[in-house]
Amino acid sequence: MATGDALFPIMYPVTGFKLGTTSAGIKTPGRSDLVIMEIAEGSSVAALFTKNAFCAAPVIVCKEHLVRCSPRYMLINTGNANAGTGEQGLLDATHSCSALATSRGVDINAVLPFSTGVIGEYLPMDKLIAGIPQAVENLSEQGWEEAAQGILTTDTRPKGSSRQYGDDDLVTITGISKGSGMIKPNMATMLAYVATDAFVDNELLHRALTIATEASFNRITVDSDTSTNDSVVLVATGANGVAIDEVSFDTFVDQLSQVFTDLAQAIIRDGEGASKFVSVVVEQALSKAEALSVAYTIAESPLVKTALSASDPNWGRILAAVGRSDIPDLDVNLVQIFLNDVLIAEHGSRAETYSEEAGQEAMQSEDIEIRVSLSRGDHNETVWTSDLTQEYVRINAEYRT
């Protein structure tokens, strides 16, 4: 199950960034599950990682390597998260980097490892290492769609976004992501890789990554679970000769944020078992934190999410979620709640203009907006989520079988 258009977009290649994908048989024979990304020498690289204290071995190794060396390769496997694997997991992540580094003649620290899949199982190193030569052979600047397929786990479809802007100085930004369950990134998403051919120095690139992530991957939740492996990487190859500076920075970030938002929303549209794409908009809050507190309380309420699944306009569940979102001195008489454009509650009770028929009609849509006006400030925030279906339960109950 998924919502929205399943068509994979046109992906503009990024000069200086290549992707190669193969099947190593890590979990399912014949399925693409190993991806190598080659970064041109001299590129800038920025990354953000999960805040989960039980972060996976590859996350630990990535952080160490980023401090020591400018990355030249990224090695991604699916089917196994290499998380909760202790010292052996660290050795395996390092060994995989060494194997790729040796084959490409680079320092081991120039390789960044990433894994996604089942937690608590050791990597099948013989299969992973054996798959590296074929993935290297497949390296191509045109390899985005194959790579998008190769990083999936419970996802039902690949996720990509690509855009170009500028006239004489054309800038390309292209990226892919994966994620379907265990989604409340709290920094990024399960895995996301975005590249641009512009030149962006390390300081500006990290700033751009942080801003774009905050507006996109940090605004989604499927099930409120932050993964052990969440990672997002932004690469700037500089191959087109266009330098992003303080003057052009805002325009670049606007374009980058669009790509990030496309990828983040694609994760929600492909949320495990999802049949609804839900925008939770909170307006007129006293602060950003207050708006997000209300939005996430609604978006992560099992009662709200199951009502959405059933297309049931049970507005009392939304009202209750707003009321328990820890907002001090909230005047409930000033709160308004809308389903799409239908006013369902105000003055602390059902709106006089509301009818069950109007609410039912609003809930039939695949895309639904829950909008809450707190009428106490000027801060607005949006969180994207999905509904909670029986299919979500089935997928996760059978995840290891």
Active site residues: 189
**Start-end of H helices in 220-270:** 249-269
Cβ(82)–Cβ(111) under 8 Å? no
Question: Between the CA of residue 209 and those of 71, 87, 124, 399, what are the distances in Å?
Answer: 17, 31, 33, 32
Tokens of 271: 């949320």
Residue whose structure tokens are 């669009």: 258
Region class of 277: left (phi > 0), else alpha (psi between -120 and 50), else beta: beta
Nearest to 7 by CA among 180, 159, 181: 159
Residue 1: Cβ-neighbour burial (10 angstroms; 0-12, 13-18, 19+):
middle
270 CB neighbour count, 10 Å cutoff:
29
* Cβ within 8 Å of residue 88, ≥6 positions away: 122
CA–CA separation, 293 vs 279, rounded Å?
15
Q: Produce one character per residue of 103-123: b if its CB has 16 or more CB atoms within 10 Å, e if not.
A: ebebebbbbbbbbbbbbebeb
* Cβ within 8 Å of residue 383, ≥6 positions away: 219, 220, 221, 279, 280, 292, 295, 296, 299
> What is the DSSP pairing of strand 367-373 with strand 349-350?
unpaired
CA–CA separation, 352 vs 226, rounded Å?
40
Q: Produce one character per residue of 130-142: b if its CB has 16 or more CB atoms within 10 Å, e if not.
A: ebbeebbebbebe
Q: Output DSSP code: residue 243.
A: B
Q: Is 248 helix (H, G, I), strand (E, B) or coil?
A: coil
Q: Is 151 helix (H, G, I), strand (E, B) or coil?
A: coil
Cβ(259)–Cβ(151) under 8 Å? no
